[in-house]
Amino acid sequence: MHTQFSYAQEMDQSDVLREYRNEFYVSEKKIYFDGNSLGLLSKRAELATGKILEMWKEYAIDGWTEGEHPWFYLSEKLGEMSSKLIGAKPNEVVITGSTTTNLHQLVASFYKPEGNKTKILADELNFPSDIYALNSQLNLRGLYPDKYLVQVKSKNGDTLETEDIISCMTEDIALIVLPGVLYRSGQILDMKTLTEEARKRNIIIGFDLCHSIGAIPHQLSEWGVDFAFWCTYKHLNGGPGSVGGLYVNEKHFGHQPGLAGWFSSAKDKQFDMEHTLIPAVNAGAYQIGTPHLLSAAPLLGSLEMFEEAGIDKIREKSLRLTDYLMKLIDAELVEYGFTIANPRNDLTRGGHIFLKHPEAARICKALKSEGVVPDFRNPNGIRLAPVALYNTFAEVWHVVQILKIVMAEERYKKYENKRGVIA
């Protein structure tokens, strides 16, 4: 039976990705289930960072054009390495900036209120920083967010209905920004259908892929998505504060970026030093400043593993891990008041499980004291993310057993039901 530890062991033995666990610095004293917040360090990422430092040591200024990974072209190289993860053409992707700076750039570039098409459509479940950025962009144009930002409502506080989003695509919407995967519940939005519906209405649409890239496959170019942006420190294991990424569909190439900068330039024109920008004829045009080399370097190693393993195999294992976790929760933990609030359907479930419990904050503290690293989301959410490249089915089994002990023996009551400074 699946509740027996031997079942988990059998699953691990047949796991085609099991060798990748050895690529990561995995603590034997902890079970790390917070890879959807910060992925673990891999040995390849560490090695790649060392190589960039060696280039600095050996070449100094000439590292921009010499050595194994010339810095002048690194953002585009990493973009090409990322492109298969989102189903994009290599020239449609560039690794640059951060999630929020890239969103600012893309909204500045694609939000063009005109006539009665003046509003931005988002949702009420999105990560706060996206809403901060959208409000800022509206304020900069002298448009009041409470009037010009429309947020799709959730019927249950955890998920969104495709039909509800489409019904909000009214004639006054000029731009749509939505998450690919909801950060709390892990719901995958139907990006293909939403893009088709936006195109019918002549609305530009983009997606925040922070919780989907590296966890699920995408086909952005095929679907006709206009733009996307993401961080690289969650499922992509790029390290704390690693450089973000953006995608722009090739149909938008050749336009001036909304926020122009030094690295928006065409590579062959950048050092002409002219005061008139000639933008790159690819996604590179949406860069602003000089690449952050030491924060991008780990991705050389991390993305190499994604290229080897393939996102389809990663997704297949991820689904099996989360499905196994849900089955164990159903069998062992329901009596303790937990509710599984993420979608159960494979087509709409991202890379993590979302549990709700009134004592969630103190339960997370108790889990940490027992050697399990979860993620608390205010006010009552526990996210558990078994990551395909380095977590095991045995760890899933152990987490559920530890959580059962924490609840049965009420060990969580030793802690205050209040989040820490960083939750």
Contact assessment for residue 225 and residue 205, using Cβ atoms and an 8 Å cutoff: yes
| Amino acid (one-letter) located at 9 | Q
Residue numbers in the known binding site for pyridoxal 5'-phosphate are 99-100, 127-130, 208, 211, 233, 262, 290
SS3 of 301-370: the string is: HHHHHHHHHCHHHHHHHHHHHHHHHHHHHHHHCHHHCCEECCCCCCCCECCCEEEECCCHHHHHHHHHHC
- What angle do the packed helices 99-110 and 128-140 form, to 10 degrees? 40
| Amino acid (one-letter) located at 340 | I
- CA gap 234, 129 in Å, rounded: 16
- CA gap 377, 271 in Å, rounded: 47
Best CA proximity match to 300, nearest among 43, 39, 40: 43
Alpha carbons within 13 angstroms on the beta-carbon side of residue 384 total 29
Best CA proximity match to 249, nearest among 215, 207, 288, 213: 207
| Cα distances (Å, whole numbers) of residue 378 to 181, 209, 263, 312 | 18, 21, 39, 32
Quote the strand ranges of 38-138, DSSP E.
93-95, 119-123
H helix count then E strand count, the chain = 14, 13
Helix (H, G, I), strand (E, B) or coil at 394: helix
To 10 degrees, the CA torsion angle through 84, 90, 92, 93? 70
Phi then psi for residue 224, to 5 deg, are 85, 20
Contact assessment for residue 156 and residue 342, using Cβ atoms and an 8 Å cutoff: no
Residue numbers in the known binding site are 99-100, 127-130, 208, 211, 233, 262, 290
Helix (H, G, I), strand (E, B) or coil at 53: helix
- CA gap 418, 103 in Å, rounded: 31
Contact assessment for residue 145 and residue 134, using Cβ atoms and an 8 Å cutoff: yes
| Amino acid (one-letter) located at 262 | W
